[in-house]
Amino acid sequence: MLRECFKKIFNKEPAVIYFSPGRINLIGEHIDYNGGLVFPCSITIGTYAATAKRDDKIVRCYSKNFEELGVIEFSLDNLGYDKKDNWTNYAKGVAKFLIEKYPQIDKGFDTIVYGNIPNGSGLSSSASLELLFIQIFKDLFDLPITEVEAALLGKRVENEYIGVNSGIMDQFAISLGKKDQAILLDCNTLDFEYIPVCMPDTKIVIMNTNKRRELADSKYNERRAECDSALAKLQSKIIATTLCEIALEDLEANKDLLTDNEYKRARHAITENIRTKSSAEAFKDNDLIKFGKLLNSSHQSLKDDYEVTGIELDTLVEAAQRQEGVLGARMTGAGFGGCSLAIVKNDNIEDFIEKVGKEYLDKIGYEAGFYIAEIGEGPTKVKDIAE
Ligand code: GLA
């Protein structure tokens, strides 16, 4: 499908088609920027790009998802952020930072991009796009970029070029994704470990609220600021460089230093880190019942202490938790909308989707989306896509 589209738009054959996945986070939410542990994996839905190198310094981009925008063009000699360049700012940001390090990048390319991550769903379409463009440059110019370097570069684009103060989790999960493996990542040291996701009798069901994460980015930066000020105040009494390394007893003993909100944000960060550690152990012990309970308490903490859920996510997750055959459920990603996850026994999935779907529609007034998560590889080359 992308080959055909490329021929139609650019009047030539594409040379290569690249794929970059989206991600889900099993547990460890809103703690990557607090020096905590996260437990994400890349999924088989993501972003594709059919690409052919050019002989000049022009990059021409067309998105199957935003056809009304037509072909957006920029030059490698002019890589400043420009709102009117819309989604191609992700490509410009990648190009800008890569050229600083690899001046041999002296040619542009034509590309058609298509993503099958539902829009605004919190499955990290932006990190997927960043890693897609890093993969294109890496491959076209044979750049010696490691997967960890690619993740750090993607994060830099998000933070310094796009202006969202996100942590490392999404780019790391995508860049280092491996089929059927989750990544236990220490965001303080970047030490990581692959842990097999082997769940023969159950599946991970992704539930999309279909509520876009509007305003999420400003709220996201607000939560980060609250965590930073909580840490700064606690540091007057406790030796610590991140919130997640503070013991819960120490937080309780110094509660008076903090505003109510700062205290709650810090309590979420500290307890979520403990839950993530326990979840990785539960996974290694094949104890999905324990893991399910940890998912439920993670959601509760994100709802009450971190306050990033909202009626749509709470309705979906609480309906899911009540169904037969469900081991646990929680929101995933930044929150305020987007997606949640449930671990559901295979035999109950059909019933689960029907009942949770109905409850959501009755209460919220529009439909939720349901997908079975498949854990796939990081950025790679592919032949084409069928759709
Ligand atoms: C977004 C950010 C990540 C992480 C999550 C919350 O996805 O991009 O860095 O902070 O939110 O866990």
Q: Over the stretch 154-170, which tens digit does the pLDDT of each residue have?
A: 999 999 999 888 999 99
Distance 333 CA to ligand 1 centre (A): 6
Ligand 1 contacts CB of residue 32 (under 6 A): yes
Atom of ligand 1 nearest to the CA of 334: 11
3-class SS of residue 22: strand
Cα distances from 288 to residues 4, 20, 281, 345, in angstroms, run: 44, 29, 10, 11
Catalytic residue (choose from 32, 110, 170, 305): 170
Distance CA 368, CA 91 (A): 31
Determine the pLDDT at residue 14.
86
Cα distances from 59 to residues 34, 44, 67, 362, 382, in angstroms, run: 37, 27, 17, 47, 21
Determine the pLDDT at residue 198.
85
Give me the amino acid identity at 268: H
Place of tokens 């989707």: 353
Determine the pLDDT at residue 383.
82
Distance 236 CA to ligand 1 centre (A): 28
Distance 151 CA to ligand 1 centre (A): 13
Distance CA 123, CA 163 (A): 19
Instruction: Annotate 256-284 with DSSP letters as a single string.
Output: GGS-HHHHHHHHHHHHHHHHHHHHHHHHH
Atom of ligand 1 nearest to the CA of 25: 12
Place of tokens 């995508």: 174
Consecutive H or E run containing 23: strand 16-25
Give me the amino acid identity at 291: F
Determine the pLDDT at residue 15.
87
Ligand 1 contacts CB of residue 155 (under 6 A): no
Residues 323-370 have pLDDT tens digits of: 999 999 999 999 999 999 999 999 999 999 999 999 999 999 999 999
CA nearest neighbour of 371 among 210, 211, 207, 209: 207
Which pTM value belongs to this model?
Answer: 0.96
Atom of ligand 1 nearest to the CA of 169: 9
Determine the pLDDT at residue 208.
97
CB 380, CB 15: distance < 8 Å: no
Distance CA 148, CA 318 (A): 36
Query: What is the distance, to the nearest Å, from the Cα of residue 211 to the centroid of all Cα atoms in its chain?
Result: 16
Distance 167 CA to ligand 1 centre (A): 6
Active site includes 170? yes
Half-sphere exposure of 170 (CA within 13 A, CB side): 28
Distance 52 CA to ligand 1 centre (A): 32
Ligand 1 contacts CB of residue 334 (under 6 A): yes
Q: Long-range contacts made by residues 57-61, C-beta under 8 angstroms, separation at least 24?
A: 57/106, 57/107, 57/108, 58/108, 59/88, 59/91, 59/95, 59/108, 59/109, 59/110, 59/111, 60/10, 60/108, 60/109, 60/110, 60/111, 61/87, 61/88, 61/91, 61/110, 61/111, 61/112, 61/113
187 Cβ contact partners less than 8 Å away, ≥ 6 residues apart: 31, 32, 33, 34, 35, 36, 37, 38, 167, 168, 169
Atom of ligand 1 nearest to the CA of 127: 8
Determine the pLDDT at residue 200.
87
Ligand 1 contacts CB of residue 333 (under 6 A): yes
Distance 6 CA to ligand 1 centre (A): 33
Ligand 1 contacts CB of residue 373 (under 6 A): no
Ligand 1 contacts CB of residue 166 (under 6 A): yes
Q: Provide the phi-psi class of 71: left if phi over 0, else alpha when psi is between -120 and 50, else beta.
A: beta
From atom 8 of ligand 1, which residue's Cα is the shortest distance away? 166
Ligand 1 contacts CB of residue 312 (under 6 A): no
CB 345, CB 201: distance < 8 Å: yes
Residues of the chain with pLDDT under 70: 213-217, 386-387
Place of tokens 């360049």: 85
